[in-house]
Amino acid sequence: MKRVLLIEDNDANLYLIRFILESNGFEVMITKFGLEGVKLALQEQPDLVIMDVQLPDINGLEATRMIRKEEKGKDLKILALTSYAMTGDREKALAAGCTGYMEKPIVPEKFLAEISSYL
């Protein structure tokens, strides 16, 4: 069973993404905060981290940079998931260390295909 860490603060998005993942056989760990997400990512070493960009404490790009600074975080797969879809946002996410970038709202079939491409 693949393990996914979902770092998302919006309850509706959290419910939907968790439902999709669990319905497709993934084990899902959840936090709504970037700092806690950094800690969990480094401790748990999930197969994939899904990182919301806008979080209540630190943003997802800063959390990604913090993960990448640690030896245990250098090879983690991190997918930035955001409703911010401005020109250059994909490049900013990749420059921060994200493995990939996906825009909200998600389409379940496309979301699963994207997730699978990292696993």
Alpha carbon distance 14, 18 (integer Å): 6
pTM for this model (two decimals):
0.95
Query: 46 CB contacts (<8 Å, ≥6 apart)?
Result: 3, 4, 5, 29, 40, 76
Q: Is the pLDDT of residue 46 over 90?
A: yes
The reported pLDDT for the residue numbered 109 is: 86
* pLDDT confidence of residue 111: 92
pLDDT band at 69 (very low <50, low <70, confident <90, very high): very high
Q: Where are the domains of the chain?
A: 3-118
Instruction: Note the pLDDT of residue 37.
Output: 98
pLDDT in the model for residue 88: 81
Sign of CA dihedral 100, 104, 116, 62: positive
Residue 86 — very low, low, confident or very high, per pLDDT cuts 50/70/90?
A: confident
Secondary structure percentages of the chain, helix, strand, coil, to 5? 45, 20, 35
Answer yes or no: CATH 3.20.20.190 is held by domain 3-118: no
Query: 106 versus 22: which is more confidently predicted?
Result: 22
